[in-house]
Amino acid sequence: MIKDAIAGHFYTVGIGPGDPGLLTLDAVKVIESADVIVAPRSEIAKSSLALDVVQQYIPEKTDVIEHVYPMVRDPEVASANWAKISTRVGELLEQGLSVAHITLGDPMIYSTAHYLLEGFPAMVTADRIHVIPGISAFQKAIALGQVTATIQNDRMLLMPASKLEEVEKALQNCETLVLYKAGKGFNKLCELLERYNLAASAMAVFYAGIEGREVVYKSLEGLKDVEPPGYMATVVIRCGHRQWESKNS
């Protein structure tokens, strides 16, 4: 169990899908004790959702830096923006402050932590960096759906839903397929799953863990023409099951 945040150390803290109950004890400890909190927020977001989730644990004296990043897929533009905050965090650490970066979900799974870590100056060595894992959105989805994602020899594949032909291929390479960002092409995805007779074995959660906005579909049957309730969605498809082969372990 983590003690208080250490002077001159950096923490990237996964805060889970949005429900404060899914914060870990270590996450709370770091957020309560860090000198500075860094909360990234995309330029299209009105406020930092991550900050809302942990606000109750941030002491009044703590400095909070909201870092606004652009929604571009140009690696150079993105890197230049993240380099600024990485440099600033490096300076704060050099001054002997402890810094906690908060991120929804898990810092190592589709998170902004990567960009921040990438841009750190050389003085921020690995022994001064701590990663606090967090509950990822798909875990909240399978919990809500009461869906066993894997058992015995099952394989589980996680990927963004952006390309339907990639999704179709992936159905062959796993027993459970988890699709992130599945809100945008939701109807076409439902159509594909009906074609494979998998719509009844699939579920979707929109705005998982976010109070007042969460919508759960326990099956995707008959949804190919229904307007989805938003764009932030995780879809979980049970494509099959791989049993143990031998009778004795």
Binding site for a copy of itself (CB under 8 A): 1-2, 16, 19-26, 28-29, 71-75, 106-111, 113-114, 117, 126, 129, 131-136, 139-140, 142-144, 146-160, 162, 170, 173-174, 243-249
Smaller CB separation from a copy of itself, 197 or 248: 248
Largest distance between two CA atoms of the chain: 60
How far apart are CB 110 and a copy of itself at their closest, in Å?
A: 5
d(CA 86, CA 88): 5
Burial of 114 (0-12, 13-18, 19+ CB in 10 A): middle
How far apart are CB 225 and a copy of itself at their closest, in Å?
A: 26
d(CA 171, CA 169): 5
Smaller CB separation from a copy of itself, 1 or 225: 1
Phi, psi (degrees; rounded to nearest 5) at 40:
-75, 150
How far apart are CB 92 and a copy of itself at their closest, in Å?
A: 19
Closest by CA to 23, choosing from 140, 149, 142, is: 140
How far apart are CB 184 and a copy of itself at their closest, in Å?
A: 11
Q: How far does Cα 146 stand from its chain's mean position?
A: 20
CA 111, 56, 70, 90 torsion-angle sign: negative
Smaller CB separation from a copy of itself, 171 or 224: 171
Smaller CB separation from a copy of itself, 143 or 194: 143
Smaller CB separation from a copy of itself, 154 or 191: 154
Smaller CB separation from a copy of itself, 6 or 131: 131
Smaller CB separation from a copy of itself, 60 or 75: 75
How far apart are CB 143 and a copy of itself at their closest, in Å?
A: 4
d(CA 100, CA 188): 40
Unique residue bearing structure tokens 């996964």: 14
Q: How far does Cα 173 stand from its chain's mean position?
A: 23
Distances, alpha carbon 208 to alpha carbons 20, 39, 49, 73, 214, in Å = 12, 20, 13, 25, 5
How far apart are CB 197 and a copy of itself at their closest, in Å?
A: 22
How far apart are CB 105 and a copy of itself at their closest, in Å?
A: 10
